[in-house]
């Protein structure tokens, strides 16, 4: 047990150090990158370093379901703080986060996220949230993909929470397909309200894309239900199939 706490302490120290080093590199790279692609690659290296020191192995399934040259809205479930390094480190495509505004207030990390072209969303302010969705739509029209957690925040109990509607407004307005992404196994690594980090195997499952062109703002709830069903079916099935 003592070793587990020492290992957790080492991981936390590494996250602080890596965030400073890679964050500064990302900020510097952002001055020379108009697209944000290179800063995103640096952020990917940051995430992979955290997975390595945490002894978290990730198996990616379903890569054939996506075309790296096409724009998508990626929608994963949200189990743990480790969802972010898993997605950033192991989803091998360019994308921009649509992330909660609080993350952008963290020194170095927040400036680095801006340098990557990630988009801040303040869900407590409806007007500000819709401005963020508009910024995300512009990002998609410029050819980049966007990633958003439809639950809005991490699960409290390991189960999938209700979905927020903002991402689906973005989807029908932009007309790009949604790719449901199912993360299996991060809950056991670091559940909400627990600081101790446990090594584990994770499966990152990329589902077939769902077209949004047949939906409108009026029927966005039907789109939400289709995406949720795709994620929940695979999540429930996959809990017994972890490495």
* pLDDT for the residue numbered 83: 96
- C-alpha 153/C-alpha 77 separation (Å) is 9
Domain borders along the chain are: 2-238
On the question of pLDDT at 100 being above 90, the answer is no
Closest among 93, 9, 2, 112 to 54, alpha carbons compared? 9
* pLDDT for the residue numbered 61: 96
pTM of the predicted model as reported, rounded to 2 decimal places = 0.87
CATH number of 2-238: 3.40.1130.10
The lowest-confidence range among 98-107, 157-166, 221-230 is 98-107
- C-alpha 29/C-alpha 165 separation (Å) is 34
> For residue range 42-87, what is the model confidence (pLDDT) as tens digits?
999 999 999 999 999 999 999 999 998 888 999 999 999 999 999 9
Torsion angle of the four alpha carbons 186, 153, 44, 130, in this order, in degrees rounded to the nearest 10: 160
Write down how long the chain is. Answer: 243
Query: At 125, is the secondary structure helix, strand, or coil?
Result: coil
On the question of pLDDT at 158 being above 70, the answer is yes
On the question of pLDDT at 231 being above 90, the answer is yes
């Amino acid at each position: 047990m003592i070793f587990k706490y020492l290992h957790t302490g080492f991981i936390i120290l590494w996250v602080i150090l890596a965030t400073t080093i890679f964050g500064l590199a990302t900020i510097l790279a952002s001055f020379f990158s108009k697209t944000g692609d290179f800063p995103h690659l640096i952020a990917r290296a940051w995430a992979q370093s955290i997975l390595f020191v945490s002894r978290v192995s990730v198996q990616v399934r379903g890569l054939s379901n996506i075309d790296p040259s096409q724009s998508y809205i990626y929608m994963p479930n949200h189990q743990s703080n480790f969802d972010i390094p898993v997605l950033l480190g192991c989803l091998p495509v360019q994308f921009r986060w649509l992330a909660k505004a609080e993350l952008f207030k963290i020194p170095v990390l927040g400036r680095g996220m801006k340098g990557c072209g990630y988009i801040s969303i303040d869900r407590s302010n409806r007007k500000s949230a819709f401005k963020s969705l508009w910024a995300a739509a512009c990002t998609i029209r410029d050819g980049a993909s966007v990633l958003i957690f439809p639950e809005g925040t991490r699960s409290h109990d390991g189960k999938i929470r209700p979905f927020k509607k903002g991402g689906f407004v973005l989807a029908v307005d932009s007309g790009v397909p949604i790719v449901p992404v199912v993360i299996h196994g991060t809950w056991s690594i670091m559940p909400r309200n627990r600081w101790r980090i446990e090594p584990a195997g994770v499966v990152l499952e990329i589902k077939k894309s769902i077209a949004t062109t047949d939906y409108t703002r009026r029927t966005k709830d039907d789109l939400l239900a289709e995406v949720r069903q795709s994620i929940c079916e695979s999540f429930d099935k996959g809990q017994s199939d972890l490495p």
